[in-house]
């Protein structure tokens, strides 16, 4: 199943620098592993915001929930999830 996910990140300004650096390093490693495994198919930064738009390819809602709640930045995110379905006019067979 494909999901469109928007993540808006709000890290507290008073978070200690070392803790912030650790969380960001773990977030990068976690997200890149998911990308390598094909679970996190696309990620785009939203210009002018600390936010992204992503496409996830997972088995079901539960797997997506587990992935998102495992993000080190999860406690600092507002997340919007939209399930996607292949459009009948799509011409590419590999986009499902």
Across 75-82, average pLDDT: 98
DSSP letter string, 16-79: -HHHHHHHHHHHHHHHHHHHHTTSEEEEEEPTTSSEEEEEEE-SSHHHHHHHHHT-TTGGGEEE
List the structure tokens of 46: 């939203």
Number of domains observed in the structure of the chain: 1
Residue 94 lies in a domain: no
Whether 87 shows a pLDDT value over 90: the answer reads no
pLDDT (0 to 100) of residue 95: 64
Query: Which pLDDT does position 36 carry in this prediction?
Result: 98
Would you say residue 71 lies in a domain? yes
| Inside any domain, residue 93 | no
Q: What pLDDT, on a 0 to 100 scale, did the predictor assign at position 96?
A: 59
Specify the 3-state DSSP secondary structure of 13: coil
């Amino acid at each position: 199943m494909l999901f469109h996910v928007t993540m808006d990140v709000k890290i507290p300004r008073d978070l200690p620098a070392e803790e912030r650096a650790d969380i960001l390093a773990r977030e990068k490693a976690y997200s890149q592993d998911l990308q390598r495994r094909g679970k996190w198919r696309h990620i785009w930064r939203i210009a002018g915001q600390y936010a992204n738009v992503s496409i996830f390819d997972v088995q079901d809602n539960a797997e997506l929930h587990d992935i998102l709640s495992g993000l080190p930045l999860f406690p600092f995110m507002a997340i919007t999830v939209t399930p996607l379905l292949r459009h009948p006019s799509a011409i590419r067979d590999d986009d499902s």
